[in-house]
Structure 1
């Protein structure tokens, strides 16, 4: 009689144990029994719960959403002949060099702008959109003097970037750069417009009045857009200058790029006027030394720009410019350095009369010069 009762209790315990085993994995309570307690999590903060986030607006976010879809990555392949290759056995006969930059679409039928140095000498050009689509690009023309190039892809209904007015840009405004620096696609950096009309950004005698910004720009950003807080393109990122603790970046004003691109689309190249002079920055000390050592020049002891050479049979020579002339104005704008003289000439047109005001031996004269077209290399 004892044995059956013992077996009966074992059976009951076994059944209960099986039930517990099957339920432990899901932490279910047995009928009529309290549920298993959950272990308390360590408290890492006693701050009030964060409120539910509400959708917020940001001028930078909104601007990037407008312009970003039209910003592209440009991959290039340059093929060069290796003079030591082939039969000399020192490497392949043809060498390939890969490059990368940025650009932005300005027409929905596949016209885009970039830097001339991005596509210079390229045998192959590949254009990749942020949505992943990739096209073969054709360089319609490039202008090394302003570093602007136009590329065309065969496509339609592409997203386009809105072009702004760089003449209205003012220091202190937002400056947003979009591009593909160091191979990191669709990178956005932001800063402010630090300065405008930087004619000495990358050397004297430049033909571009650069926009200076403190937005971070790195190799690969070249050719990408600089946009304002309304998502409008105001420049093309083209150059950087490293400085201790920070970098300075420079962009081609979009109005300049627009003018060059229109010429490339019309005739395949850009036209630049020239007058044919070599200039020198003048300081009071330099003027004093010149006046003391030669009787050929009598220069005022001021800061300015003086003609040191006039090319034979040039527009300047035909217009009456001479060495030692201190140039005061080009057209109706005063000039203080060689870059401003260059920009003044660029504002003129080939063959049209351009007034240049000079100070010659104490006498102010207005000379009329007709710029000619600068010969193209190659």
Structure 2
């Protein structure tokens, strides 16, 4: 074939740019390098952890420090990230984790100017923050919060990886609506992109081929610490709504039920005899005095819809409730003890800091040296109704109700699952239990139905947990 024909064969398809250079020249002036100084606990060795860089040696630094650092047992750490102007008068978007503990924020522009910035507002739950520099006529870019990017669309990331400001990388949208786990970003369905992003890219923009911001780079998945082609960006729709409010000086408030939730897994569905198609969020605990408690929500309830919108899992419930304004009424459709019910809850305001109750306690350390176990044996567990003596022995608060475990057969399935004396069985097969007969009846009911195990809701030192207890096989 002729050279012309060969060139045509390798011409980019319609919609693909010949080069990203024009787009980069258009948007790069709006992207900035952010350098921060923070106070951190004094390291024992010769390195410090800094956001965007990881462990970095301190040339010539003494181990113990001196002067002011010695007095407060802390030292200064340097961090770096990225950001971008979203207005001509100096407002800059970045990640919360870049600036959350900053004592000093410096912004370096593409024209090499260095300006001092001040924090305007931040929202840890979306990992977004807004800072501002004084001045005007800054080049800025805009969020594209109307048109949804598609998997396979081109993207360009611009930022400050490893301190190399003004770095551009390109790729595609690899996936959408990613849940990357953990409690740090419960309200974000991330865009996954394969444009290389590394430490220091945090807070920088992801552009489409029209130069519009479709995401804010926030995290990477990497066993090595460097880019392996799996990066995550906060979608523009979430970022714009949040940063607009932060720019206005508003505090980000979210709806709150006061429940601890988990996904309705296939094991739970099977043990409860529910159809495989059943979706929902499983309530494992209800905070005393919370809006959910006041409305009558109970551990073991399965939320299948809110205001008529189906709930497929715990993340969807968290985001649906978080999206409402405090004071709004939510209509929850539940499965409770096998029957559908509707409960109306007036949403509260989500507290600033939420954590698991008694997180980090060692269950074995909580087990007291008790006298001989009392109660009756059921499936490898010795259980008894909670008496005043047992409540005192296991330090159970007055609101805890159910059957307390007083002994566990080590070779039983319950023993292998980690049951410990002092745990309390609150429910069995979706029904509350207060006597040994209640538990025995639930076990017989589940066995008669042919199901392989019974779903128990168990009070542990770390809060309520749903546990499927498989039945011992008959020989």
Q: TM-score range by the shorter chain?
A: 0.7 to 0.9
Higher share of residues assigned helix: 1
Distance 2:23 2:313 in 1: 37
The alignment status of 1:277 with 2:251, answered yes or no, reads: no
The RMSD of aligned alpha carbons is: 2.9
Provide structure 2 residue ranges, at least 5 long, that are not aligned to the other structure.
4-15, 45-62, 70-74, 355-475
Distance 1:286 1:128 in 2: 53
TM-score (norm 2): 0.61
The alignment status of 1:91 with 2:65, answered yes or no, reads: yes
> Residues 175, 266 of structure 1: CA spacing in aligned structure 2 closer, same or farther, 3 A cutoff?
same
Map 1:349-364; keep pairs closer than 5 Å: 349-364=325-340
Residue of structure 2 aligned with 1:367, choices 343, 348, 358: 343
More off after superposition, 361-370 vs 129-138: 361-370
Count of residue correspondences = 315
Q: Is the 8 A contact 1:356 1:367 kept in 2?
A: yes
Q: Compute the displacement of 1:60 (Å).
A: 2.6
Structure with higher RCO (Cα < 8 A, 6+ apart): 1
Question: Paired residue for 2:244?
Answer: 262
Q: Return structure 1 stretches of 4+ with deviation > 6 angstroms.
A: none
Q: Which SS does the other structure have where 1:342 is aligned? A: helix
Q: Compute the displacement of 1:61 (Å).
A: 2.6
Residue of structure 2 aligned with 1:325, choices 280, 284, 301: 301
Distance 1:162 1:83 in 2: 41
Provide structure 1 residue ranges, at least 5 long, that are not aligned to the other structure.
1-46, 48-55, 292-297
Distance 1:299 1:165 in 2: 39
The alignment status of 1:105 with 2:85, answered yes or no, reads: yes
Distance 2:175 2:309 in 1: 20
Question: Paired residue for 1:310?
Answer: 286
Question: Paired residue for 2:180?
Answer: 201
The alignment status of 1:63 with 2:50, answered yes or no, reads: no
Q: Is the 8 A contact 2:221 2:228 kept in 1?
A: no
Distance 1:67 1:269 in 2: 30
Q: Which SS does the other structure have where 1:65 is aligned? A: helix
Distance 1:252 1:83 in 2: 32
TM-score (norm 1): 0.76
Distance 2:175 2:17 in 1: 28
Q: Compute the displacement of 1:377 (Å).
A: 4.5
Q: Which SS does the other structure have where 1:68 is aligned? A: helix
Q: Compute the displacement of 1:120 (Å).
A: 1.6
Distance 1:283 1:329 in 2: 17
Q: Is the 8 A contact 1:283 1:304 kept in 2?
A: no
The alignment status of 1:144 with 2:118, answered yes or no, reads: no
Q: Compute the displacement of 1:287 (Å).
A: 3.7
> Residues 140, 377 of structure 1: CA spacing in aligned structure 2 closer, same or farther, 3 A cutoff?
farther
Q: Which SS does the other structure have where 2:299 is aligned? A: coil
Distance 1:191 1:141 in 2: 31
